[in-house]
Amino acid sequence: MAIDTNYFGSSANAAANANNPLQNGVSAQQDMFTKLLVAQIKNQDPLAPSDPAQFVQQLTQLAQTEALQNLSNLTSANASVLQSMQVLALGAQVGSDVMVNVDQVQLDGAKVKGEVTLGASSTKTTLVLTSVGGKEYKVELGSVAAGSVPFSVDPTALGLPAGTYKLKVTTSTGEEPPVDIAGRLNSVRLGAGGAIVLNVANVGEVAPGAITAFNGKATTSTVATAGATSSAQ
């Protein structure tokens, strides 16, 4: 019995197209355009036929529409691949110490480090932390030169209850410099709409653009050395 290879080939193509909604959309548009074009030709006035240039123009518009749609699909696919690569790259940094540009900090009793970047020298510089209830706590940084100014917040010494605090720095020049908080990158996930969300200790969830520095992962050499010393004794 002879086997119709064309039948199986067309069946395979049909199955492939059925699993590709983008291709199905393009094919449906092509079929609709072809039917409309044939109907237009059939129903034209024989005594005053349509200008063939109009049909050519319509075909050209269809080709342009298909090209734009294919370009849009390709751009979306490339964006998805790029996003996946970014997630993988950031995932490899989980456990690293990072600096995050934020306007608030989460305190739980442990000391938190950070830094302020000044554009000009300031004779009086103050870090202001504001609680949810509106109470202000101040950390005096004193007279500092332009550039990076490190600081440390000790909740116990300042009498700060655990919670989230707004951050602001006041200077003698009136400048409001950005504040970076140090924390450990705990996790990376995809949020609503495909946005990448990072969870950082002392900060909470932030976008990748808020990260200003990766400081590497903490080593355990000190702990190992201490353990070896204790064993020797």
With cut-offs at 50, 70 and 90, classify the pLDDT of residue 34. Answer: confident
Cα separation, 231 vs 160, whole angstroms: 39
pLDDT tens-place string over residues 150-208: 999 999 999 999 999 999 999 999 999 999 999 999 998 888 777 888 999 999 999 98
pLDDT tens-place string over residues 35-76: 776 776 677 666 666 666 776 676 677 677 777 777 777 776
CB neighbours (10 Å) of residue 38?
10
Indicate if the pLDDT at residue 5 is higher than 70.
no
Q: 96-217: which CATH topology?
A: Immunoglobulin-like (2.60.40)
| Burial status of residue 135 (CB atoms within 10 A of its CB: 0-12, 13-18, 19 or more) | exposed
Region 131-144: what's the mean pLDDT?
94
What is the model's pLDDT at position 220? 54
**How does strand 96-101 pair with strand 211-217?**
antiparallel
With cut-offs at 50, 70 and 90, classify the pLDDT of residue 124. Answer: very high
121 or 80: whose pLDDT is higher? 121
What is the model's pLDDT at position 90? 74
Domain ranges of the chain: 13-91, 96-217
| Burial status of residue 228 (CB atoms within 10 A of its CB: 0-12, 13-18, 19 or more) | exposed
At 6, list the tokens. 């064309």
What is the model's pLDDT at position 8? 42
pTM of the model: 0.60
